[in-house]
Amino acid sequence: MRVGFIGVGNMGGPMASNVLKAGFDLRVHDVRADVAAKLAAEGAEVGATPADVAADADVVDIVVMDGAQVEAVTLGDAGVLSSARPGTVIAVHSTVHPSTVRRVADAAAPRGVDVIDAPISGGVVGATAGTLCVMVGGDAAAFERARPVFDACGALVLHLGPLGAGLGAKLARNLIGYVSMLGAQEGVALADRAGVDHERMLQICEHTGVLSWQMRELLNVRGPHPTYGDDLGPLVELSAKDMRAALALAADVGIELPAGQLTLDRIRYTVVPPDAPTNEGGHG
C-alpha cells in the first residue's frame, strides 16, 4: 500500500515514522523542509507539493494545523484532489469543525475519492509510541481500506459512524479534557496556596482518578516544554482553536455549553500556569 502524509511536524512526523516502520511505501510533504528531511533519512520519499504526495497514493493522511490549512492542501491548485486517483482515501486527522471535511468530501466525490475524518488523541507521546486513539467518521468501506495505516499509528481505532462522527467525538473529548483541566488548575492553585506540596497534590489527584497523565504534564509546565520549547503560544492557541470548534459545533446542534465557554475564556491560565513563560503573540 502506498501512503502519503501531508504535515509531518510534532504529530504527523512520528505518525509517519511509525507507518514507515510498519512497512508501507511512504511519501511525505511539509512546508518545512527540515522536518520532511528527517523522514527522508528514515527512507521516505519527499513530495514537492500535496499533489505529488497524492499522485499514486492509496491513502493520504492530512495532519495540518487548522481548517484553512486542510482546505489549502486538499482543494488548492497543487492540492491532493488535483492528482488523487479514484478509490484514494483522504484521512483528515486535524481537529477541525466537521463542516471542513464535508466541504472537502463534496469536492472529492465527483472524482471518486473518499474522504473520512480521523482525528487523533494521545499527544506527541502517543504519536511516538504508536498508541494514539483514532476516531473515524465516514464510509465504512473507506475506513477499512485505510485501517492498516491507522493501526500503525494507534492502539484504539474506532469507526464511529458517518462523516463528521470522528470529529464530533474528538471535539467532545477535548471539551471534557479542557473543562476538567480548568478545575484541576484551580484546585492545584488552591492546594498550593493552602500550603500543600505541589507534587504530592498531583499524586493525590492521579491516584483518585481526577487527573490524567496529559493534565499532569501540562499542569507541570514551569519552563520550556519538551515539544514547544520556550514558546508555549502554539500550545495555548491549539487548545483555544479546539475549544472554539467545539463551541461552534454545539451551536450547530443546539446545545449550550456554559462551562465550555468559561474554559475558552480562561484557557491561557488553564493550559499555562500563571508563572510559566509565554510568548504573548501566540502562533496560528
On whether both 183 and 128 belong to a single domain, the answer is no
What 3-state class would DSSP assign to 29? Answer: strand
- For range 257-280, the mean pLDDT: 64
- For range 241-249, the mean pLDDT: 95
How many domains does the chain fold into?
2
Does any domain span residue 153? yes
* 93 within 8 A of 65, measured Cβ to Cβ: no
Q: Which three cell numbers stand for residue 88?
A: 484514494
* pLDDT score, position 282: 27
On whether both 89 and 206 belong to a single domain, the answer is no
**Closest Cα partner for 49 from 84, 14, 101?**
84
Does any domain span residue 279? no
On whether both 201 and 114 belong to a single domain, the answer is no
The tens digit of pLDDT for each residue in 58-95 reads 999 999 999 999 999 999 999 999 999 999 999 999 99
Which residue in 21, 38, 170, 241 is the catalytic one? 170
* pLDDT score, position 227: 56
**Residue 233 pLDDT more than 70?**
no
On whether both 7 and 115 belong to a single domain, the answer is yes
The tens digit of pLDDT for each residue in 172-206 reads 999 998 898 888 888 988 999 999 998 899 889 88
Confidence of residue 232 (pLDDT cuts 50, 70, 90): low
Does any domain span residue 136? yes
C-alpha 164/C-alpha 156 separation (Å) is 18
Range of the domain at 30: 2-162
The tens digit of pLDDT for each residue in 144-166 reads 999 999 999 999 999 999 999 99
- For range 90-105, the mean pLDDT: 98
* pLDDT score, position 183: 87
Domain C-terminal end among 138, 162, 186: 162
**Residue 211 pLDDT more than 90?**
no
Rg (CA), the chain: 19
As a whole number, the mean pLDDT across the chain is: 89
User: Which of 274 and 38 is assigned the larger pLDDT?
Assistant: 38
241 in catalytic set: no
**Residue 234 pLDDT more than 70?**
no
Does any domain span residue 86? yes
Going by their DSSP bridges, the two strands 89-92 and 154-161 should be labelled as unpaired
Does any domain span residue 284? no
* pLDDT score, position 217: 67
Does any domain span residue 50? yes
Domain C-terminal end among 162, 187, 211: 162
On whether both 44 and 82 belong to a single domain, the answer is yes
**Residue 210 pLDDT more than 90?**
no
On whether both 132 and 202 belong to a single domain, the answer is no
| Residue labelled with grid coordinates 514547544 | 228
User: Which of 221 and 6 is assigned the larger pLDDT?
Assistant: 6
Does any domain span residue 277? no
**Residue 226 pLDDT more than 60?**
no
* pLDDT score, position 195: 97
